[in-house]
Structure 1
Amino acid sequence: MSTPLGVTLRPYTPADQTAVLHLINADRLPGQPPTTPAMLHQALEGRSPVDAQWWAALDQPTTEVVVEDTGAVFGVVSYAVRPKDDTGVILWLHCGEAARTADLLIRRAVAALAPRPVQAFQIASALSLGLEALPVRNRAVTDEALRRAGFTGERLWRYLRAALPTPGLPHAAHVHIGRADDTGKNTRRLEIRNGPDVVAEAVVGPPVHGIGVLWRIEVAPSARGQGLGRALLGSALDVLTGLGATEVILYVDDDAPAGDDRDRTATNRLYDSAGFIEIDQLHSYTLARTGHPR
């Protein structure tokens, strides 16, 4: 693939670490910790504490940088192949939201992954705290570049944030709190029980740089309409505050239409009324390849 004069695409090297971290952290959203060298190393190795099973299904990622004649790095892209369905995956990309650089990096990844179909921003990486897709308001240039390249975008998540402590929420009277290490994130599980049955549960992640995560909150259909969700939310946020969190983030998978079994209207109403603010909406992308065997 040809590149503009004065610009080189080459494999990432350890000497690029500082410049690449600068690019990544320039795109950091509110509620996300700074990306560290250790986090970058995990991503380069193809590992992540979140969505680990999806990373395990990939071949070793390829990471490339865009470099000026002066040696300055001004863009980076990481991509891989998923052998089980012969699909290419663009894992992460940072370019200072410069349109020409975004176009160049996307074209490079698509060409390298040809003739496979390509998915982009489908799984969370080690570079963030569970950010699974592209924040389209904060990364509008990258969103537009993907669409120019023929990708179709799909809204998957709302990304919300609140300061802690959050006053005014009720608390569940009897909550069982234990570790939820089966998630692989050193999390805590809060359960409300009715006899032997768990009728509501929440899972929270320990703070990173003061940022806690509410990974999920669920109430059994038979127990809804009794205020358990709001009370459990209050208890979960108290647990995070007790662990040292000064803010909390969460992700709502509200891509389902109203009336669907996965309709999140009530969930969104709960979080909005509890003081959570929407930071962005997260989209993932697909690029079909005509004639590619599946």
Structure 2
Amino acid sequence: MNKIVSSILAAASFSIVASAASAAEVLRFSHTDNPGGSRQAAAEQFAEKVAKYTEGRYEIRIYPSGQLANDPKAIEQLQLGGIDFTVSATGSYATHLPSLNLTAMPFLVDSYEQGWELYDNSDWLKNEFNKLPGKGFRVLSTWEAGFRSFTTKEPLTSPKDAEGEKMRVYPNDMIRWTMEAIGFQTVVMPITDVYLAIQQGTVSGQENPVDTIKSLRFYEVAPNITLTRHVYSPLPLTVSEATWQKFSDKDKQAFMKAAQESATFSRDLVKNSVDSQLKDMTSAGAKVAVPEIAPFRESVASVYDKARGVYGKGEVDKILADAAAIRKALPSQ
């Protein structure tokens, strides 16, 4: 009899657990990184933390490699409620808040620590992020991608080598202006199309952080990696505002906690992986070079004035002042 009762209780317990699991609300997380990349690893961390801190009430289902949408379309889907979360370069959100283009101004910061301070504590940037819920999405935390550098078919030793070459860019004025100031012709295209475009000769190269170059294997078709580190390019994690407003206050706190912890994970992972990633790509045939940076800095000096003309002197000078103060307080090693 006891065995029968135990079996009944065990079956009931299993049924309750199964029902709880099946009752979890599924939320969709879209990104364009490959399954082996740092974005996927951080997304998995985020999903685990959300499940833990909401006691299983929510399940984050992750769709990597642009399965649901490329970066611009994913942000549009946030606004429409078609997806719940995405993570993309700050400049990708500038289509909906143009002032965020200013975060992609060249050579704002020189180290990860300076970049983290800018994104966590800049009064100007906090104010801009606070405008995003009115656009249909909000920033929960900032993940890491690193500093943008080049991969090209031919060596890139100075801006002179850029003349006449076609460089892929994503839809961001500041990146486009910077590339054109260096000397490139620019071609706008989704990141999911870049590998084939380089392979077919539509463009001769692209620029992205080392983590992205490795994850999307751009070094296979453009084997010259030139570490200019011309733009700091982290990844705000965003949630659809429609989704956010459905959460209870308790669940909002849980999602924020998961977002912050996954951001710490992402920052540590990317910063500490760069050297090994470059080594792996070199072993696979890539050529890594660190050029003299001064000519690149000089070539993009006009970009700041162009930004002032479009976005206003006050706005540009605010973020430049924040960045200058941070560089002074946290000197690069």
TM-score grouping bracket, smaller chain normalisation = under 0.3
Per residue, is there more strand in 1 or in 2? Answer: 1
TM-score by length of 2: 0.23
Q: Normalising by the residue count of structure 1, what TM-score does the alignment of the two structures yield?
A: 0.25
Q: Specify which structure has the bigger relative contact order, considering alpha-carbon pairs within 8 angstroms and separated by 6 or more residues.
A: 2
Structure ID, larger Rg: 2
